[in-house]
Structure 1
């Protein structure tokens, strides 16, 4: 008697539609926002109660549950092994197929599923609008620009070396090492060869590339002006 009452309540079109809404919204939001399984659990519970009602009524069989179970498994695999939505689509097809197969009236089930999908789309759109900063897409998008004015630098700023003089401690052919401000620095010339021990002056700094040329008397005169 209790099973019949429970079955009648769960298979009522309004109740069944609400359960489908809970199931679809829960699964969809879990895939979009990764809520540590809470939304997925709510979604599975909604679908489980839907199937329970039709199972108690004698309409849902193990085949229907198997199709639905495959859908759940595919969605779980999507969470673990991202497939660019392929597993999600296949899982959704299995879920909806199981729902249609379990119902006593496929036409009525299609109507309930259509209403549930419409409500679910509205609910998901609302969630995306208000919680978009927590969406799964943020894992693939760099939302903040890493600029120097925000304190982000990819390498030490060596621009202060421009105009500094030092000594080539290895042959510069054209790359090599020079001693600048008491520090060994990798440098490159503008194409000329500079032997070891020659004085050099830094003429350009581009990121990690430090360009030098041989220091001469002209540089001394210019510095004195």
Structure 2
């Protein structure tokens, strides 16, 4: 039974598919923040990949440790602004663990290359067609809403100008804040603002609400 499962999971086609699921899941979680669902799918894909080679006697605990470090670094990237440093280190650990766990590094590199290329295509298509739907557009900058495109500005947004509130999500630079008792989508001027920080609306353009962090000075 275990030999059959191992042979199936380590087959080049299966291994490539599992790597593809892993890469797409992790990448889309970092880009779109699905609350961990996409990351869970990605970890499952990588996990089955390692399971196959572990059952075959090739993957060691050291390989799993390197892979685990990569997962931890990617999780830290979602809560600690590192300007991509943790993401790069995490990706290196993930791919390094994948290569070390394989019985044939050359075949593993081919499978990884194919999976990486297909992942780029899938993520690009997803970003193009899903960025304006549901929670996806909460974390990306929106297109300019002009009247020639059929949009009209919402005068009620001007009521938020000068109002203060609190960031409900990390603003990187887009996210959600509570202003004047209402949850609204906001953006910063490019700076990162952590969740829970006090913010102030400094600019309103149509439906685009720009905020900045309120720096509270403490008396010495």
SS, match of residue 36 in structure 1: coil
Aligned to 2:30: 31
Quote the Cα distance in structure 2 between the aligned partners of 1:82 and 1:101. Answer: 29
- Deviation by residue 1:172-202 (Cα, 9 ceiling, x = unmatched): xxxxxxxxxxxxxxxxxxxxxxxxxxxxxxx
What is the CA distance between 1:84 and its match in structure 2?
Answer: 1.6
In the TM superposition, 1:47-66 aligns within 5 A as 47-66=46-65
Cα distance in 2 for partners of 1:13, 1:85 equals: 31
Equivalent in the alignment of 1:111: 110
Aligned to 1:68: 67
Q: Please name the residue that 2:158 is paired with.
A: 153
Q: Structure 2 unaligned segments of length 5 or more: list them.
A: 146-151, 162-220
Q: Distance in 1 between matches of 2:10 and 2:53?
A: 6
Go from structure 1 to structure 2 and tell me whether the alpha carbon gap of 1:121 and 1:149 turns closer, same or farther (over 3 Å shift). closer
Q: Is 2:127 the counterpart of 1:122? A: no
Count the aligned residue pairs.
155
Aligned CA-pair RMSD: 2.6
Where in structure 2 are the equivalents of 1:165-180 lying within 5 Å? none
Distance 2:70 2:140 in 1: 25
Note closer, same or farther for the CA distance 1:11–1:72 as it changes in structure 2 (3 Å cut). Answer: same
Q: Distance in 2 between matches of 1:128 and 1:141?
A: 12
Shift in Å, 1:150:
3.3
Per-residue deviation, 1:60? 0.3
The answer for unaligned runs of 5 or more in structure 1 is 157-225
1:153 alignment partner, SS class: helix
**Which secondary structure does the structure 2 equivalent of 1:133 belong to?**
coil
Give deviations 1:141-187, integer Å, cap 9, x for gaps. Answer: 47667xx963143699xxxxxxxxxxxxxxxxxxxxxxxxxxxxxxx
- Is 1:21 the equivalent of 2:25? no
Cα distance, 1:86 vs. partner? 1.1
Larger radius of gyration between Structure 1 and Structure 2: 1
**Secondary structure of the residue that 1:58 maps to in structure 2?**
coil
TM-score normalised per structure 2: 0.64
